[in-house]
Structure 1
Amino acid sequence: MGGLLLATGAAQAQSLRCNDAGVREGDSRLWLLKTCGQPSLSDTYCVPIFYPGPPNRHGVSQPIPAGCLMTDEWLYERGPGNLPAVVKMQNGRIISIRYGEQGR
């Protein structure tokens, strides 16, 4: 059986500066809370996980659902003149930081 496939998009590495410290991809949810405080808005949703299935008679493998990976997105409004930041986390770790969006 093959490896695990996740339905996630590619993200460019970013960091977020809050107060006198910063957070970046790989940092923990606790460090984000300590550094930046509570978000303006938050959302939690499930990202489907699939395993590759056995090939059919035509050699095509159909993905098999294998649950989901809980994902959090936190929106930080950073004040006048600053783009809002959306911090995405999985398994308690920051996986991406995007600017200029109002969530997913």
Structure 2
Amino acid sequence: MRAWLAPLVLSLLFFPTRGDAFSLRCGSDLISDGASKADVLLKCGEPMLKESRTEYEGVKQKYKGPDTDTTTERVVQKNIDEWTYNFGPHRLMQVVVFENGKLVEVRSGTYGR
């Protein structure tokens, strides 16, 4: 049992995970994080479903001055669009999430129809 444990631990250390990176394959095209809605439409076509919402997030900023530190808080509006692609019964459906027009997430759903 110990014979395979050391190589497994070493492989986990030397081959880091991709983190938050993601991509979506549409035919022979690959769409990655940061792509615009126009890029996705061009490469993947019209989605089966489009949903939009607006979210508000509080953002704090700290400023360091020579005598005092100041913190300000403001509310930032984010426009969120979720597009669902159905690639058929042999592939998982994909939900593509845009924040202010830029691709920020791709989630897999159930198998398509």
Q: One fold, TM greater than 0.5?
A: yes
In structure 2, what is the equivalent of residue 73 of structure 1?
A: 82
Counterparts of 2:46 and 2:83, CA distance in 1: 9
What runs of 5+ residues in structure 1 fail to find an aligned partner? 1-10, 53-63
Aligned-partner SS, 1:95 = strand
In structure 1, what is the equivalent of residue 31 of structure 2?
A: 23
**Stretch of structure 1 that moved more, 92-101 or 74-83:** 92-101
Counterparts of 1:96 and 1:21, CA distance in 2: 17
> 1:24 touches 1:97 (CA, 8 Å); kept in 2?
no
Identity %: 31
Aligned-partner SS, 1:100 = strand
Q: Which amino acid aligns with 2:55?
A: V
Give the greater-gyration-radius structure (CA).
Answer: 2
Measured after TM superposition, the shift of residue 51 of structure 1 is 3.1
> 1:42 touches 1:75 (CA, 8 Å); kept in 2?
yes
Alignment root-mean-square deviation, CA: 2.2
Counterparts of 2:99 and 2:53, CA distance in 1: 10
Q: How many residues align?
A: 82
In structure 2, what is the equivalent of residue 86 of structure 1?
A: 95
Structure 1 counterpart of 2:104, from 90, 95, 98: 95
Q: Normalized against structure 1, the TM-score is what? A: 0.68
Q: Which contiguous aligned blocks of 4+ residues in structure 1 show a shift greater than 6 angstroms?
A: none
> 1:16 touches 1:23 (CA, 8 Å); kept in 2?
yes
Counterparts of 1:40 and 1:77, CA distance in 2: 6
Which has the bigger relative contact order, CA under 8 A and spacing at least 6? 1
